[in-house]
């Protein structure tokens, strides 16, 4: 623990309510519906030359709601509702495909996220992907990612995904212990993980990622070690480890409010414990031949196991975020779609793009966004920023870099800025040091 920490900071080491991880900049709470006109201007303007284009599709259905989940998901929709939604999202992609910002650009990356994209049946997926590919083909894309919940997979569904060009399968394992999975509201069983993984390997998906969560309610050292061991045994190409947050608007946060606590009454590990678990997992995975590629990810080989979605998005690529409440970034404007089912479907029924709020970024916002997001990979290349923004990031953020380097979280060596292993483990809490003053201390969502 650095000596500069105050008692208040030390108190923050407990897992309290709220979002801890930083996924974008400026924070979402500054995105406004009064800026929707900027979003429309952005999509109706030609693209900045050389900017890759991605497509994110939000499939918001799940078998049941995990108790820690704060995403816009539905567990009560029938086949007819799903068909209405899939028509709407297809219509959205069609409207976007005709805008000036596409400008003939092919898709560089595609991401099916959720929710649970694999909740859809093989027939629904086949129909959806056939229609989408006719509108915006992804045959030349560098990566097509598809998120799966192991219990929703059958072999023929995976065959369908292969047929439609999915290159990266992301399995939401989270934990292996049945009691922990059940208590946290996960729908899948341990044996379903092995079965799904076996099929995925058999079918030859180029990249399989496994997601784990350090610090699910009920976790302890013994079980965590077993989770890491079982993961290594499966031998995935990539492992992503999230440290458990307790955001607002989750089942857990409501249970906590009901009992009148402002501190979790449940057995939620504190941040130092979750970091220790993540560090342990990284070290074990490194012993097994993996390389650390970000604060949350290890990969078999950095050269071969790329994550195009993250690499492109964090460097300021364009991405259409389609589906209810989805987030995107186009021509320098952050955009989020309307966040209710009714509003989303109604907008597309009326033939309108379903934008709900937006934030037009300045060049400085984009610079800070890249610094902050790329620091999560553990490395900044000073020359990259000089070429792109015409400045020296070491000078631009001198105070922040000096503090972080003095406290042992990163090193400055010539043109390279690198997080230390301990710094990388907790990089998110240091990122506000790079924010402009008006964006510090705001509630994140
Ligand atoms: S599967 Fe994912 S999206 Fe669905 S409820 Fe659980 S955490 Fe949320």
Who lines ligand 1 at CB under 6 A?
62, 65-66, 69, 71, 73, 114-116, 149, 172
CA of 69 to the centre of ligand 1 (A): 6
Best residue among 116, 247, 250, 251 to mutate for probing ligand 1, ranked by most atoms within 8 Å of CB: 116
CA of 62 to the centre of ligand 1 (A): 6
| Residue 20, token pair as written in the block | 């801890």
**Spatial distance between the Cα atoms of 107 and 136, rounded to a whole number of angstroms:** 7
CATH architecture for the domain at 17-312: Alpha-Beta Horseshoe (3.80)
- Which atom of ligand 1 is nearest the CA belonging to 68? 7
Where in the chain do CATH 3.80.30.20 domains reside? 17-312
- Which atom of ligand 1 is nearest the CA belonging to 186? 6
- Which atom of ligand 1 is nearest the CA belonging to 64? 5
Nearest residue (CA) to ligand 1, atom 5: 65
Q: Which DSSP helix (H) or strand (E) runs through 173?
A: strand 168-174
- According to DSSP, the β-strands at 143-148 and 109-114 are parallel
Best residue among 65, 118, 174, 184 to mutate for probing ligand 1, ranked by most atoms within 8 Å of CB: 65
Nearest residue (CA) to ligand 1, atom 7: 69
CA of 95 to the centre of ligand 1 (A): 28
Nearest residue (CA) to ligand 1, atom 2: 115
Cα(first)–Cα(last) distance of the chain, in Å? Answer: 28
- Which atom of ligand 1 is nearest the CA belonging to 147? 2
Nearest residue (CA) to ligand 1, atom 6: 66
CA of 73 to the centre of ligand 1 (A): 7
**Spatial distance between the Cα atoms of 136 and 321, rounded to a whole number of angstroms:** 14
- Classify each residue of 203-242 as buried b or exposed e, where b means 16 or more C-beta atoms within 10 Å of its C-beta: eebebbbbbbbbbbbbbeeebbeebbebbbebebbbbbbb
Best residue among 62, 63, 72, 186 to mutate for probing ligand 1, ranked by most atoms within 8 Å of CB: 62
CA of 233 to the centre of ligand 1 (A): 25
CA of 72 to the centre of ligand 1 (A): 9
CA of 414 to the centre of ligand 1 (A): 43
- Which atom of ligand 1 is nearest the CA belonging to 60? 3
pLDDT for 224 equals 97
Q: Are 33 and 300 in contact (CB under 8 A)?
A: no
CA of 340 to the centre of ligand 1 (A): 17
CA of 65 to the centre of ligand 1 (A): 6
Nearest residue (CA) to ligand 1, atom 8: 69
Best residue among 71, 182, 213, 253 to mutate for probing ligand 1, ranked by most atoms within 8 Å of CB: 71
CA distances from 290 to 221, 249, 296, 310, 362 (A): 21, 36, 13, 18, 38
| Residue 171, token pair as written in the block | 């399995």
For the chain, 445 residues long, give each residue's pLDDT as a single digit of tens: 333 444 444 456 777 666 678 899 999 999 999 999 999 999 999 999 999 999 999 999 999 999 888 888 999 999 999 999 999 999 999 999 999 999 889 999 999 999 999 999 999 999 999 999 999 999 999 999 999 999 999 999 999 999 999 999 999 999 999 999 998 989 889 999 999 999 999 999 999 999 999 999 899 999 999 999 999 999 999 999 999 888 777 877 777 554 444 444 556 788 899 999 999 999 999 999 999 999 999 999 888 888 999 999 999 999 999 999 999 999 999 999 999 999 999 999 999 999 999 999 999 999 999 999 999 999 999 999 999 999 999 999 999 999 999 999 999 999 999 999 999 999 999 999 999 999 986 554 4
3-state secondary structure of 32: strand
**Spatial distance between the Cα atoms of 122 and 160, rounded to a whole number of angstroms:** 6
CATH architecture for the domain at 363-445: Orthogonal Bundle (1.10)
CA of 252 to the centre of ligand 1 (A): 13
Nearest residue (CA) to ligand 1, atom 3: 115
Backbone dihedral angles phi then psi of residue 379, each to the nearest 5 degrees: -150, 135
The answer to whether the pTM exceeds 0.85 is yes
- According to DSSP, the β-strands at 333-337 and 327-330 are antiparallel
Q: Which DSSP helix (H) or strand (E) runs through 273?
A: helix 271-287
Where in the chain do CATH 1.10.10.920 domains reside? 363-445
pLDDT for 266 equals 58
- Which atom of ligand 1 is nearest the CA belonging to 115? 3
**Spatial distance between the Cα atoms of 184 and 50, rounded to a whole number of angstroms:** 44
């Amino acid at each position: 623990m650095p000596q500069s920490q105050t008692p208040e900071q030390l108190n923050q080491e407990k897992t309290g309510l709220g979002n801890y991880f930083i996924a974008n900049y400026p924070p979402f709470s500054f995105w406004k519906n009064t800026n929707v006109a900027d979003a429309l201007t952005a999509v109706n303007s030609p693209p900045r030359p050389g900017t890759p284009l991605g497509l994110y599709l939000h499939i918001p259905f799940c078998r049941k709601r995990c108790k820690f989940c704060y995403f816009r998901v539905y567990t009560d929709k029938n086949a007819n509702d799903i068909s209405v939604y899939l028509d709407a999202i297809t219509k959205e992609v069609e409207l976007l495909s005709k805008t000036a910002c596409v400008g003939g650009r092919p898709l560089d990356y595609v991401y099916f996220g959720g929710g649970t994209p694999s909740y859809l049946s093989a027939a629904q997926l086949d129909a959806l992907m056939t229609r989408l590919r006719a509108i915006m083909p992804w045959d030349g894309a560098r990566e097509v990612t598809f998120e799966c919940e192991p219990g929703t997979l059958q072999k023929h569904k995976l065959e369908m995904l292969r047929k439609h060009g999915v290159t990266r399968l992301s399995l939401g394992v989270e934990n292996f212990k049945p009691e922990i999975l059940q208590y946290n509201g996960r729908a899948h069983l341990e044996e379903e993980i092995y079965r799904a993984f076996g099929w995925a390997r058999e079918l030859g998906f180029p990249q399989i990622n496994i997601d784990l969560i350090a610090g699910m309610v009920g976790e302890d050292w013994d079980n965590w070690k077993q989770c890491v061991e079982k993961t290594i045994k499966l031998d995935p190409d990539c492992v992503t480890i999230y440290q458990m947050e307790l955001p607002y608007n989750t089942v857990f946060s409501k249970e906590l409010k009901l009992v009148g606590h402002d501190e979790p009454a449940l057995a939620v590990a504190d941040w130092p414990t979750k970091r220790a678990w993540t560090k342990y997992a990284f070290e074990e995975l490194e012993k097994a031949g993996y390389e650390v590629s970000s604060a949350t990810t290890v990969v078999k080989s950095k050269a071969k196991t790329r994550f195009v979605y993250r690499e492109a998005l964090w460097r300021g690529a364009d991405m259409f975020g389609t589906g209810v409440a989805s987030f995107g970034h186009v021509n320098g404007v952050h955009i989020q779609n309307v966040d209710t089912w009714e509003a989303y479907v109604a907008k597309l029924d009326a033939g309108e793009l379903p934008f709900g709020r937006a934030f037009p970024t300045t060049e400085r916002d984009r610079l800070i966004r890249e610094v902050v997001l790329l620091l999560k990979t553990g490395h900044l290349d000073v020359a990259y920023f000089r070429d792109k923004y015409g400045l020296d990031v070491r000078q631009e953020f001198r105070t922040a870099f000096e503090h972080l380097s003095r406290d042992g979280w990163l090193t400055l060596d010539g043109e390279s800025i690198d997080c230390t292993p301990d710094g990388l483990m907790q990089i998110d809490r240091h990122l506000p040091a790079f924010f402009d003053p008006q964006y510090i201390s705001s509630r994140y969502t």
